[in-house]
Amino acid sequence: MKKIIYLLILLDVICINVTKAQLSFTQIKSEYSGIDFKNIINESDSLNEFTFYYMLNGGGVAIGDINNDGLSDIYFISNMQSNKLYLNLGNLKFKDITDSAKVNGGDGFKTGVTMVDINADGFLDIYVCKSAYAGSKFRKNVLYINNGNNTFTEKASEFGLDDASYSTQSFFYDMDLDGDLDMFLLNHPIDMKSANNIPLSYDKDGNLFAKQDTLRTFVSNRYYENINGHFTDKTFSAGLGTYAFGLSSIIDDFNGDGFPDIYICNDVKEPDYLFINNKNKTFTNKASDYFKHFSYSSMGSDYADINNDGALDLVALDMLPESLGRLKELIGPPKYDNFYTKVKYGLGYQYVKNVLQLNNGNNTYSDISYLSGIASTEWSWTPLLADFDNDGLKDLYITNGYLRDITNMDFMMYEGDSIRKEVMKARKTDEALKILSVIPSYKMQNYFYKNNGNLTFSNITKDCGMTVPSWSNGAVYADLDNDGDLDIIVNNLMEEPFLYRNNTSENKSGNFIRFKLIGPKENPFGIGVSIRLDTPDGKKQVQHFMPDKGYLSCNEWFVHFGIGGNQSANAVITWPNGYTENVMGIGANNYYPADIKNATSTLNNDTLKTTPLFIDITKQTNVSYISKENTYIDFKQEPLLPHEFSKMGPTIAVADINNDGLDDFYVGGSKDHEGTIFIQDLLGQFKIKNEQELIADKEFEDLGSEFFDADNDGDKDLIVVSGGNEYPDDSIKYPVRLYMNDGNGNFKKNSSFPNIYTSAKAIAIDDYDKDGDQDVFIGGRVVPGRYGLMPNSYLMKNNKGYFSEVANISLKNIGMVTGAIWCDVDGDSWKDLVLVGEWMPLTIFKNKNGVLDSLPTITSNSYGWWNTIQQADLDGDGDMDLIAGNISFNTKYKANEQFPLTMIVSDFDNNGSTDCIISAYQDGISYPIAMRDVLLDQIPTLKKKFLRYKDYSSATINTIFSSEQLKKATTLKMNDIANTVFTNDGYGNFTQQYLPVKSQIFPINAVITEDVNKDGIVDLLVAGNDYSTEVETGRKDGGIGLYLSGIGKNKFKATPVTESGFYVPGDVKCMKKIVIKNKSCVIVGKNSDAIQILQLNN
């Protein structure tokens, strides 16, 4: 019974529901379509992947109706041969008119292409970018002006656009809102040696910083302002000079101020840029204000609203393989120092993975790529976010493939050298081509993801008929056969392009509305228009029209909306000049011509100012405390750790410690920093109170703290547990300390408290034996330096102020406890001990008349990486339900009952260090997740077994170790990763319910239960993140706090931050309620960050 509910919820939240997906595509071959072009690369000794590293990046494709006959025509880039223009004859038949139209692209190495009506004559012109060749005349971009009769004339220099940079792609957009289209040109340097070097310099204060390479001709991105039809280079006055390997760009209004901004995906070391438009023809890169991290080798990108909340979301692609085996062969080990060297010198947090940056609506984004399931799609180029099945949700198509697996680790470490020596020995000269020829080469399938409508996507590549493997680069969507669905065109390397006919209209599975824009004279095709579409089912969709996106390519010149079963829709069309047109009742399956002539100047009407529920009052309280960490790096001691244990603070405890009726608080200090007491005054401001006894204990890292009356004298005493991982060999650095209050808020350490040493975090206090004084449970968190072993936990019975340990063998080594509460789960009036932890299930020691059971009751499908637990009667049925924070779905390795994550623990090589190896399932088999070099770093003797990366890529625990070794090992498991509500049936039996999907974006470290909106139903405030993960998976930084309002039956509604004001970003570790100036507030502790205080505003 429990299991069924569990599965149903699972389906609801991470739906892989293929039955609904009727979406299918049919590949139309050249025999029918007439598109028989191939983008063939011929490498030579002088031009090859060594001499030009972007040799195999492929070409773009552009869509546009060049003869205004109502049919979209196609222009393909051929990197090294003639480009091709195919005239659409209808019915998916095409005619090659390249020669007669005179648009073959000319000499040189062609890359990106866009169409634009540059001379505003109503006919689309073609602009082609070039790169590679040393001679600048071979790199001059070309502009084909449409003569209106299916012929073109090259006029780049006439328009000032014969730029000879090493160009990737061009973007035409009205950047300064003066009505005409300006151009942003994306370029790249040619010195690949600089791609990963960090040139250091001292600044005037004597600090080292990474010096930006000097800006260079032909290398920096370019910005051309359109001045009366002529393009003038304004790159440097606009502040857009750069030295980065740009691969794609998105021009859109990222901060909602009406002015277009520029997002740039940069390859290799430079992080992506977001140049915010300063509204005065200058731009400033503010990417790190908006985004917490980036993909490392950012390639193609798209920007569209995936969850129909009106805020556009960003997808940027990288090169992470989906299969664990290929990952181990292709991706090198995570390099901690390399990573943090880049962070230190301003290159930001960059990870080898796709990102899906969910727009939080407040100019911040959270990467949900792991949650959404789109993080790893091989070496990827184009993302296309569009509604392919006309259900009102944007799906995601991704092209990928690279001719050679040049990151193959065996090639890099071994075979590359062998072949090089062979070539040298034979004294051959064609070294480069020979070396390149030994690199493994595989074609991969592109990916098609259907949007499930809940922030997740399902991979339906196979079901929709897109399984042909390829090396695919630029790709676009366009309704080529005018049947109301979006077809897909892909420029492949070495082979014919893909032309995929969308069968949605044939299957009559969804309605559509398409907008054709008729703009003002200088922007006749309406680039930059925003359309909001409201359908009767209550769905609101927003699209911004910018055909030039994805990778090197230009999409169709319509705005396409799928509207599912709706028969009509209302639209608001907003032009770049702010004019709007409201259209009511556009019928389904229609084209609507949106003409600027019908748009009128409007006042901003829908910006009703709502007062958010929470406001940040940190400044007003005078609390300017920042928790500081020492620089201990756990991975240096234990390379196989999934995350660090030395960065888990701070802890905060709240109480009125000086009996003046005002809440005060304690914040724990990290190693070498003392814990600090803050006293509230009548103005609601706080002052630090120095405590000698706390200062004396500053060598300990405080991870747990509580105020309670230990000696029944009417004041609050302070218990603090020491934690962390900094002293791997010195257990006495982890004492539990009890500080006694003298009644006036002065503390003195209680020397009679027993000497307990354990690296701990959780504390639970209650009079569990009902003898009139408060007892204490202390949960051990980790064995320092020996992850995987079980730390000691302690149940301390209070006997009139004197504490003694209660013996309970199974409780003592119960696991890596993170959260503990006393809670009467079975209604017998005795408080039971409820525990959660890392690799632990929900664990309850039932209290029988003041004595805890010797064995715990566990919920078997709840083995999680829990962070915290809270209790409340959420459903109002009189018993206590539980809310527990877990690692969340936004994480790399998923786990469930059938396919748990496991960790095997032993000293396999008998060298005295504890080895812990985590394995995850893939295709029904469990493989270790560690990269070869990391595992060999921990267990060097295994190197003999895995001389090559390939040998290791398919190894399982059973092939790595002998059965004898495995017998001595212990295994831990995790089968639940969700942030969860445990609903109590009143007898202590619990069923699990996932919290809403928006609360699965981040690990919940802190939960507050409170009826925030005073509707009689308990609401939740949750927050968390984890910045201490290993550098391959990357920081969990998507959390910005979340207000979940209870709507009954243990269901919750996630309230957007724009409404709640509950904005709690950062590495949140704890939250506590506190009353300040008689108002309910929340105090938030974050690792290596400032304390934040929010006030509930009602």
Binder of another protein out of 204, 636, 800, 967 (CB under 8 A): 636
680 touches another protein by CB under 8 A = no
CB of 337 to another protein, least distance (A): 4
426 touches another protein by CB under 8 A = no
204 touches another protein by CB under 8 A = no
Please state, in angstroms and rounded to a whole number, the distance separating the CA atoms of residues 71 and 954.
Answer: 50
Binder of another protein out of 285, 341, 971, 1013 (CB under 8 A): 341
Binder of another protein out of 80, 177, 195, 1054 (CB under 8 A): 195
Binder of another protein out of 47, 198, 851, 957 (CB under 8 A): 198
Nearer to another protein, 418 or 810 (CB): 418
637 touches another protein by CB under 8 A = yes
Residues paired with 1090 in a beta bridge? 626
53 touches another protein by CB under 8 A = yes
783 touches another protein by CB under 8 A = no
CB of 11 to another protein, least distance (A): 40
CB of 193 to another protein, least distance (A): 7
49 touches another protein by CB under 8 A = yes
Q: Which residues, 286 to 305, sit near another protein by CB under 8 A?
A: 297
CB of 637 to another protein, least distance (A): 5
Site string for another protein, 887-916 (x = CB under 8 A): ----------------------x-xxx---
597 touches another protein by CB under 8 A = no
Tokens for 496, please give them: 């014919």
Helix, strand, or coil here: 33?
helix
Contact (CB, 8 A) for 858 and 837: no
Please state, in angstroms and rounded to a whole number, the distance separating the CA atoms of residues 77 and 554.
Answer: 11
Please state, in angstroms and rounded to a whole number, the distance separating the CA atoms of residues 531 and 594.
Answer: 10
Under rule CB under 8 A, how many of the chain's residues touch another protein? 60
Binder of another protein out of 80, 268, 688, 1090 (CB under 8 A): 268
Helix, strand, or coil here: 332?
coil
693 touches another protein by CB under 8 A = no
Nearer to another protein, 48 or 307 (CB): 48
Please state, in angstroms and rounded to a whole number, the distance separating the CA atoms of residues 880 and 813.
Answer: 26
416 touches another protein by CB under 8 A = yes
CB of 426 to another protein, least distance (A): 11
631 touches another protein by CB under 8 A = yes
Residues paired with 475 in a beta bridge? 490
50 touches another protein by CB under 8 A = yes
CB of 952 to another protein, least distance (A): 13
Q: Which residues, 316 to 335, sit near another protein by CB under 8 A?
A: 335
411 touches another protein by CB under 8 A = yes
Residues in Cβ contact with 831 at an 8 Å cutoff, skipping those fewer than 6 apart:
766, 768, 822, 823, 824, 847
Q: By C-alpha distance, which of 861, 825, 862, 863 is closest to 985?
A: 825
The interface region with another protein, picked from 22-30, 187-195, 582-590, 789-797 by CB under 8 A, is 187-195
Q: Which residues, 442 to 461, sit near another protein by CB under 8 A?
A: none
Tokens for 662, please give them: 């005002």
First to last CA, the chain: 42
687 touches another protein by CB under 8 A = no
User: Nearest 5°: phi and psi at 1094?
Assistant: -115, 145
Please state, in angstroms and rounded to a whole number, the distance separating the CA atoms of residues 896 and 881.
Answer: 22
Q: Which residues, 939 to 998, sit near another protein by CB under 8 A?
A: 940-941, 943-944, 947
Please state, in angstroms and rounded to a whole number, the distance separating the CA atoms of residues 968 and 154.
Answer: 75
Q: By C-alpha distance, which of 384, 420, 428, 381 is closest to 402?
A: 381
Contact (CB, 8 A) for 168 and 188: yes
The interface region with another protein, picked from 166-174, 349-357, 556-564, 936-944 by CB under 8 A, is 936-944
Instruction: Classify residue 912 by burial, with Cβ atoms within 10 Å: 0-12, 13-18, 19+.
Output: exposed
Please state, in angstroms and rounded to a whole number, the distance separating the CA atoms of residues 637 and 1079.
Answer: 46
Please state, in angstroms and rounded to a whole number, the distance separating the CA atoms of residues 322 and 1067.
Answer: 28
- Mark out the alpha helices in 769-845 (DSSP H runs): 809-812
Nearer to another protein, 35 or 403 (CB): 403
Q: By C-alpha distance, which of 921, 877, 892, 862 is closest to 1003?
A: 892
236 touches another protein by CB under 8 A = no
Going by the DSSP 8-state scheme, the letter that residue 700 receives in this structure is: S
CB of 776 to another protein, least distance (A): 34
User: Nearest 5°: phi and psi at 986?
Assistant: 95, -15
Nearer to another protein, 336 or 757 (CB): 336
CB of 443 to another protein, least distance (A): 18
Binder of another protein out of 262, 406, 834, 1070 (CB under 8 A): 406
Please state, in angstroms and rounded to a whole number, the distance separating the CA atoms of residues 841 and 837.
Answer: 7
Across the chain, which distance is largest between two alpha carbons, in Å?
A: 100
The interface region with another protein, picked from 196-204, 584-592, 621-629, 877-885 by CB under 8 A, is 196-204
789 touches another protein by CB under 8 A = no
Binder of another protein out of 199, 578, 743, 754 (CB under 8 A): 199
Contact (CB, 8 A) for 886 and 866: yes
CB of 209 to another protein, least distance (A): 9
Q: By C-alpha distance, which of 118, 129, 181 is closest to 153?
A: 118
Please state, in angstroms and rounded to a whole number, the distance separating the CA atoms of residues 614 and 50.
Answer: 57
The interface region with another protein, picked from 321-329, 424-432, 621-629, 738-746 by CB under 8 A, is 424-432
CB of 202 to another protein, least distance (A): 5
CB of 435 to another protein, least distance (A): 8
Instruction: Give the DSSP H/E element, type plus range, for residue 436.
Output: helix 431-437
Tokens for 77, please give them: 């880039």
336 touches another protein by CB under 8 A = yes
Nearer to another protein, 557 or 908 (CB): 908
Nearer to another protein, 381 or 397 (CB): 381
CB of 244 to another protein, least distance (A): 13
Residues paired with 561 in a beta bridge? 513
* CB neighbour burial string for 408-425, b if at least 16 within 10 angstroms, e if fewer: bbbbeeebbeebeeebee
Contact (CB, 8 A) for 562 and 387: yes
Tokens for 165, please give them: 């940079």
187 touches another protein by CB under 8 A = no
Binder of another protein out of 44, 68, 100, 201 (CB under 8 A): 201
Residues in Cβ contact with 206 at an 8 Å cutoff, skipping those fewer than 6 apart:
none
CB of 243 to another protein, least distance (A): 12
804 touches another protein by CB under 8 A = no
Nearer to another protein, 57 or 680 (CB): 57
Helix, strand, or coil here: 475?
strand
The amino acid that residue 118 corresponds to is I
Where along the sequence are the contacts to another protein (CB under 8 A)?
49-50, 53, 192-193, 195-202, 206, 208, 211, 213, 267-268, 297, 335-338, 341, 406-407, 411-422, 424-425, 427, 435, 631, 633, 635-637, 639, 909, 911-913, 937-938, 940-941, 943-944, 947
